[in-house]
Amino acid sequence: MSVYSEVPQADPVAVFKLTQDFNNDSFPQKVNLGVGAYRTDDSKPWVLPVVKKVEKIIVQDDSLNHEYLPILGLPEFRSSASKIALGDDSPAIRENRVGAVQCLGGTGALKMGAEFLRRFYNGSNNTRTPVYVSAPTWENHNAVFANAGFEDVRPYKYWDAQKRGLDLTGFLGDLESCPEHSIFVLHACAHNPTGTDPTQDQWKQIAEIMMRRKLFVFFDSAYQGFASGSLDKDAWAVRYFVSLGFEMFCAQSFSKNFGLYNERVGNLTVVAHDADNLKRVLSQMEKIVRTTWSNPPSQGARIVAVTLNSPELFAEWKDNVKTMADRVLLMRAQLKAKLQALGTPGTWEHITEQIGMFSFTGLNPKQVEYMVKEKHIYLMASGRINMCGLTTKNIDYVAESIHEAVTHVQ
């Protein structure tokens, strides 16, 4: 009898199961629109040219070694990562009230923030503070906060399925009616999975209520630069909230905008009221890191730090990011045009109104099942597709398949 005999079999992680099913499919025209990673027009992963260049610089630098980093991570990575989130001229940075923790990807940054908030926010070890995540959201948001010990993870209204856009009225209503001191996880840009972001005016309304009702702001920034092609535009909401005086967290991922998916490069930017509060927060973050991964890896963080701290390499990186963003925008325009040319029932304006890697197509679960089983086009059950999975070679087939699914499956 095994000591593990009572362990139940867990369900597979949906997005990775989808990729496995795709890989096992022998159909020649199969298409993978599930995985959240950039692909070239040849459906290949892309190592950014600037990353290849920086890797060579690192290899040839004989001053580097494999000693432990500081517990909170590579200092030049943390400071430069926070700077691209908050801006070069951020008053909060100048006032020495911004700090950071190098984390294992964006997920690790969310985990660090969640662990800290459960221990020290809204009282000591208060597991009952409500945590609000958008409906829908990236599925890991719920799990990360629940696993950190929060007992009350709730949805806030976000997506209007009829309108195929933002449910601003519902969102603002939830902000007004939630308990004071609730934690809200906000997508900084390129909302996952809907691709629908508030406008600047709408962000201002959101911020006004959150400030008035003493709600905690926790931004998740996984696509800065990747969404619009502009680092500054994609960081507007984060910077606006900081300008109003919010104390807040911002989880940053460099998986998408540097293509460093398996290097796990993340950063948790902490904005505090003053330097003294920041010092005490970071002292506790050290304790949490020590019992979680103890010390972070250097390779990916060094690639990002070298790039962001060199004007020439920084400019080249911004150009690489714009290349990726522009390809996504082109695929959006082409898919919408092809669906409209086919006379596909419904409105498809949302495909170009949405932003970032993903599009929330509006396909229902039966239509998604038809796409997967009959057309060998793999997408999430929610109807989310990765626009990078589209290429000039498969876009006609995908558009025709969506047309068939919408026309024949209700």
| Cα distance between residue 158 and residue 186, in whole Å | 11
Pairing of strands 131-135, 183-187: parallel
Closest CA to 334 of 408, 402, 404: 402
Q: Find the angle CA(333)-CA(337)-CA(340) to the nearest 5 degrees.
A: 140
Whole-angstrom Cα distance, residue 116 to residue 121?
7
Does residue 256 have an active-site annotation? yes
Q: Which of 46, 138, 317, 348 is catalytic?
A: 138
Q: Which of 167, 174, 197, 220 is catalytic?
A: 220
User: Is 138 an annotated catalytic residue?
Assistant: yes
Cβ-based neighbour number of residue 199 at 10 Å = 10
Instruction: Check: CB of residue 107 under 8 Å from CB of residue 140.
Output: yes
Query: Has 25 been annotated as catalytic?
Result: no
The single residue of 30, 111, 256, 336 carrying the catalytic annotation is 256
Active site (catalytic) residues: 138, 220, 256
